[in-house]
Amino acid sequence: MPVTRHVFKFSKVSLGTTALTDTGGRKAFGAVEQLRWQPSAQDTGPGPIGTITVWAQDEKTTDTGLAHVIFNEASVVIGNDIVRSLADTGTARNTKIILGGEVLKARILPSDTGAIDGSLYVYVSD
């Protein structure tokens, strides 16, 4: 089963700034299998806290809001590695999220002090 990794990079996101959004730009095809956050440097303390949101949107839409939310988790300790499987995404009855050419987008919203630097990986299987 081939897997495609979509990468969203975030740098120097801090409290007091607006949410930083990475629009991705690549179309995704298949089932969302896993999400992984990897900070640029591991935090030995509790680290900054924030909200991670991933959504899919038709590339031709001019709507600036969130379309189909795939993952949304608040109070995440962003200074540490985070891995969520499809079962962790909170989808109704663990229904697989199938993408047919939508563009993936991701947003980090800090809710605590400390700069947020790292990459969010979304793994999609064919």
Count CB neighbours of 71 within 10 A. 20
Please tell me the distance from the alpha carbon of residue 46 to that of residue 79, in angstroms, as a whole number: 7
* Residue 26 backbone dihedrals phi, psi, to 5 degrees: -95, 140
Per-residue pLDDT of the chain (126 residues; tens, 9 = 90+): 789 999 988 877 666 555 666 666 678 899 888 889 888 876 556 667 778 888 887 766 655 555 778 888 888 777 778 888 865 445 555 677 888 888 888 888 877 666 678 888 999 988
CATH topology of domain 3-125: Jelly Rolls (2.60.120)
Cα–Cα distance for residue pair 100/57, rounded to 1 Å: 10
Per-domain boundaries in the chain = 3-125
pTM: 0.79
Q: SS3 for the chain, per residue?
A: CCEEEEEEEEEEECCCCCCEEECCCCEEEEEEEEEEEEECCCCCCCCCEEEEEEEEECCCCCCCCCCEEEEEEEEEECCCCEEEEHHHHCCHHHCCCEEEEEEEEEEEEECCCCCEEEEEEEEEEC
